[in-house]
Amino acid sequence: MRPAPDYSLYLVTDTGMCGERGVPKTVAAAVRAGVTMVQLRDPDAGDRELVALGRAVRDVLAGTGVPLLVNDRADLVGEIGADGAHIGQGDMSVPRARALLGETRLLGLSVHDVGQVEAAREYGEALDYLGVGPVWATSTKPGHAPPGGPGRLRDVVAASPWPCVAIGGIDAGRIAEVRATGVAGAAVVSAICAADEPAAATRELRDRWDAAREGA
């Protein structure tokens, strides 16, 4: 078994939202302020662009102990030198991603509901965690599945044999409610990437997560 990382504050990057500051600098500020996990997500980037960006982020994370995962592109994880991949329901299959990653890298899968948790059970130890969402509606991912709210999140956590990370519409005002569902972590895009000051925004999320009551 791979050791479980600290999922508590999970940053998913958005290149457009990071703007002129850029993804690597945004990641550096966020990690110094308390992000514990980073996923590089740029569905519009070509392969070369994604590899270059991924390597820059990997360099920023070197020595921090914070893992870097790549969205969708398990095939580029080795070239980037990342620590794993995160795939969605419509992406490559879990067995295919695991075969590309080998046994030591991390693999997460997005689910929307309990039915998708049950369908994933057969993957067992090939998976490390589930991303669950969107919890709330978000303009960050146009065309996303209908939001399930904290109620459905709680149901998924209860049904899941893997640690769960919530995503979708999470900000500082909602993170305590998210933690109360029993998730291992909260993933955010705009709350950090679109913030004027990513470090301050991260610190607030971190403090509120730490102060919140863990769910059961």
Interface region with Mg ion, contact rule CB under 5 A, candidates 73-81, 82-90, 97-105, 187-195 = 82-90
Write the DSSP string, 103-156. Answer: SSSEEEEEE-SHHHHHHHGGGGGG--EEEE--SS--TTSTTPPPP-HHHHHHHH
**Any contact of residue 14 with Mg ion (CB under 5 A)?**
no
Among 22, 81, 88, 215, binds Mg ion (CB under 5 A): 88
Among 33, 50, 68, 72, binds Mg ion (CB under 5 A): 72
DSSP state of 17: H
Residue 173 CB, nearest distance to ligand TZP (Å)? 13
**186 token code pair:** 């909260």
Residue 92 CB, nearest distance to Mg ion (Å)? 9
Contacts to ligand TZP by CB under 6 A? 12, 133-134, 138, 140-141, 144, 167-170, 188-191
**Any contact of residue 91 with Mg ion (CB under 5 A)?**
yes
CA count, 13 A, side-chain hemisphere, 105? 24
Q: Residue 47: what are its φ and ψ, rounded to 5°?
A: -60, -50
DSSP state of 63: T
**5 token code pair:** 């990382």
Residue 134 CB, nearest distance to ligand TZP (Å)? 4
91 binds, among ligand TZP, Mg ion, none (CB under 5 to 8 A by kind): Mg ion
Q: Could you tell me which of 41, 83, 87 has the C-alpha nearest to residue 58?
A: 83
- Decide whether 54 or 102 has the Cβ nearer to ligand TZP: 54
CB 134 within 8 A of CB 168: yes
- Decide whether 60 or 111 has the Cβ nearer to ligand TZP: 111
- Decide whether 55 or 141 has the Cβ nearer to ligand TZP: 141
Which residues partner with 130 through β-bridges?
109, 164
Residues that bind Mg ion (CB under 5 A): 72, 88, 91
